[in-house]
Chain A
């Protein structure tokens, strides 16, 4: 089945992806962000917070946004 996957980590990603039936949001996170902790991210499905064991449905909209993003001072050449 197909979901809209938006990941604001790094350079950002936003597109439809195919996932297996019965995939939970926790499983999807672990697959897409294997070295990250979910508590460091704001995870929404269809713009709402959901429990970890929420089973994703066709055309669901998943957004993952890091809660800690480091700003910087611009370096001029």
Chain B
């Protein structure tokens, strides 16, 4: 009577249930939770919005200003955005996303200004900077030559 033996084993081994309420401990730092964006380093490439399958991340541009918004209610926690983010500004929390009661309550919106790289200067200034950088390079060369091994035997 296999089932009776099973029941006896179960009674002997006791329960496997957590005693509720159970505080969830995230044992893995790779758990997929809410997305956070680092506003200081985000460049506004919108690759995350492009690959997001549910349009939870939206990027709206107006000139150099753009707003990055994220709605956890729509998120499916696939982490495609994090894979695509080149400056690595997007991070994922390692805990359970919180409950909410009103639709769209957890939506976060970040307003940022696009950081452009420094503009190239006028041609005269460009030549001067080129000469200056060449002199720096020439001065660097003998120093490196002195450091190079001498092929003639030392006398």
Report whether chain A binds chain B. Answer: no
Q: Which residues of B contact A (CB under 8 A)?
A: none
